[in-house]
Amino acid sequence: MPSQELIDPLRGALARLLAMITPGDLKYSFFAASGTEAIEGSIKLAKMYTHKSGFIAALKAFHGKTMGSLSMLGKSDYRTPVGILYGGPVFHVPFGDADAVERQLETSQKVGIDIAAVLMEPIQGEAGAIVPPDDFWPRIRELTKHYGVLLIADEVQTGFGRTGKLWGVEHWGVEPDIIAMAKSLGGGVMPVSAFCSTEEIWQCMMFPNPFIHTTTTGGGALACSAAIAAINITLRDKLWEQAAAKGEYLIPKLNDFAKRYPKIYENITGKGLLIGQHFQNPDIGYKVAAGLFKRGVLVAGTLTSAQTIRIEPPLIITYEQIDQVLSRLEDTLIDVSRLL
Ligand code: PLP
């Protein structure tokens, strides 16, 4: 069991590595096991630093299913059965709409509801690889600074190269105040997550009581060594460049399918290897997913509906494998179009 009193050398090395590779001045990290814990920690840190309790999140956002994260999540399916969630105010605005964020910040200020942070995914993952307009992240960075509100980037899904940059926010050159990561931090196999922030913000978690945020198993030696190895491979093989190039190869071919099968597809979205296929209705999406599954291709639904199916292969997928996916997808589309 890792000690809470002593610093494990591997934990220190991992924190140092993250300080080196995260955007801007992000410097301190806390380690846990799951993405949702990284979000919980981010929420808590933002509250403690700002002494405010309101949050602005996005419709269709996914941040995890523990109570704090669930409060930020933007789909009723998971929230309604639970009932009352986080005690402070949480406002949901359409993702990618910087004007809506601005209006909410302005309104909250006018009515005296203090906002601690804006929390968003750089590219929405579970919503179906939704890419915001190019000015969205720069504008919400500007707005959060203007209103004295923190900006939290949930990079649990987008982090470590998946979208074609090491971090999703790098597409727009934005430096968030807090970043949450998980999934690929453990190479996709080891439960390890982190939230990171700047020295200035982190002070409130270090002083006066460094035990204000702890977890017994988080930051264990095994998890940290796996994360160090995952980062090493990510940097050594420049996996984000691979994701960018493979996305540029794959996405136009999917767009071509979307054009050729308009009764099946609505559109294709995404960046790098975080790709969403949006279908005309959930039934068609389900049929395509089932046809692919039958042909040995595993795709990711979006938990609430089969209308959108994600393609999120390992970043090391070969071009030969991508071609196989495309050919099996085309066979599936031919089959499904016969049923329509
Ligand atoms: N945030 C994002 C963007 C996610 O995609 C997920 C999981 O899919 C989470 C948070 C929650 O992570 P976990 O399932 O490890 O709790």
Q: How many domains does the chain have?
A: 2
State the pLDDT at residue 207. 84
Residue 216 lies in a domain: yes
Pocket mutation for ligand 1, best pick of 63, 67, 178, 193 (most atoms within 8 Å of C-beta): 63
Residue 303 has pLDDT above 70, yes or no: no
Residue 159 lies in a domain: yes
Nearest atom of ligand 1 to the alpha carbon of 124: 3
At which of 185, 216, 236 does a domain end? 236
Nearest atom of ligand 1 to the alpha carbon of 193: 15
> Sorting pLDDT into bands at 50, 70 and 90, what band is 124?
very high
Residue 5 has pLDDT above 90, yes or no: no
Nearest protein Cα to ligand 1, atom 5: 157
- The DSSP code sequence of 173-213 is T---SEEEE-GGGGTTTS--EEEEE-HHHHHHHHSS-GGGS
* Rounded Cα–Cα distance for residues 261 and 259 (Å): 6
* Rounded Cα–Cα distance for residues 65 and 80 (Å): 12
Q: In angstroms, what is the span from residue 335 Cα to ligand 1's centroid?
A: 34
Mean pLDDT over residues 270-279, rounded? 97
Q: Is the same domain home to 142 and 217?
A: yes
Percent residues over pLDDT 90 in the chain? 93
CA distances, 181 to each of 35, 146, 211, 259, 316 (Å)? 6, 26, 22, 35, 20
Q: In angstroms, what is the span from residue 35 Cα to ligand 1's centroid?
A: 5
Residue 4 lies in a domain: no
With tokens 């990510």, the residue in question is: 234
Two tokens, residue 143: 């707005």
Two tokens, residue 243: 């994701």
State the pLDDT at residue 1. 60
State the pLDDT at residue 8. 87
With tokens 């009932």, the residue in question is: 83
Decide: pTM greater than 0.75.
yes
Q: Where is pLDDT greater, at 331 or 7?
A: 331
Annotate 73-91 with b (16+ C-beta within 10 A) or e (fewer).
bbbeebeeeeeeeeebbbb
Pocket of ligand 1 (CB under 6 A): 34-36, 39, 62-64, 121, 125-126, 154, 156-157, 182
> Sorting pLDDT into bands at 50, 70 and 90, what band is 34?
very high
Mean pLDDT over residues 95-110, rounded? 98
Nearest atom of ligand 1 to the alpha carbon of 65: 16
Q: Is the same domain home to 68 and 41?
A: yes
Q: What is the domain-level CATH number for residue 267?
A: 3.90.1150.10
Chain centroid to CA 201: how far?
Answer: 22
Q: In angstroms, what is the span from residue 338 Cα to ligand 1's centroid?
A: 37
At which of 236, 262, 281 does a domain end? 236
Pocket mutation for ligand 1, best pick of 31, 34, 36 (most atoms within 8 Å of C-beta): 36
State the pLDDT at residue 29. 97
Q: Is the same domain home to 232 and 253?
A: no
Nearest protein Cα to ligand 1, atom 10: 63
State the pLDDT at residue 76. 95
SS3 call for 84? coil
pLDDT 10s digits, 234-249: 999 999 999 999 999 9
Mean pLDDT over residues 273-278, rounded? 97
At which of 215, 236, 257 does a domain end? 236
Mean pLDDT over residues 293-314, rounded? 89
Q: Is the same domain home to 226 and 319?
A: no
Q: Is the same domain home to 16 and 63?
A: yes
Q: In angstroms, what is the span from residue 36 Cα to ligand 1's centroid?
A: 6
Q: Is the same domain home to 207 and 246?
A: no
Mean pLDDT over residues 111-125, rounded? 98
Q: In angstroms, what is the span from residue 205 Cα to ligand 1's centroid?
A: 23
Residue 300 has pLDDT above 70, yes or no: yes
Nearest atom of ligand 1 to the alpha carbon of 183: 15
Q: What is the domain-level CATH number for residue 59?
A: 3.40.640.10
Residue 78 lies in a domain: yes
Q: Is the same domain home to 273 and 230?
A: no
Pocket mutation for ligand 1, best pick of 42, 70, 157 (most atoms within 8 Å of C-beta): 157
User: What average pLDDT does the structure give for the chain?
Assistant: 96
Q: Is the same domain home to 229 and 135?
A: yes
Pocket mutation for ligand 1, best pick of 40, 62, 69 (most atoms within 8 Å of C-beta): 62
pLDDT 10s digits, 314-327: 999 999 999 999 99
Mean pLDDT over residues 116-121, rounded? 98
Q: Is the same domain home to 19 and 112?
A: yes
Q: Is the same domain home to 210 and 333?
A: no
State the pLDDT at residue 218. 92
State the pLDDT at residue 301. 78
Residue 3 lies in a domain: no
pLDDT 10s digits, 160-210: 999 999 999 999 999 999 999 999 999 989 999 999 999 999 999 988 898
Q: Is the same domain home to 147 and 163?
A: yes
Nearest protein Cα to ligand 1, atom 13: 35
Pocket mutation for ligand 1, best pick of 183, 274, 303, 312 (most atoms within 8 Å of C-beta): 183
Domain span at residue 77? 9-236
Q: Is the same domain home to 226 and 261?
A: no
State the pLDDT at residue 101. 98
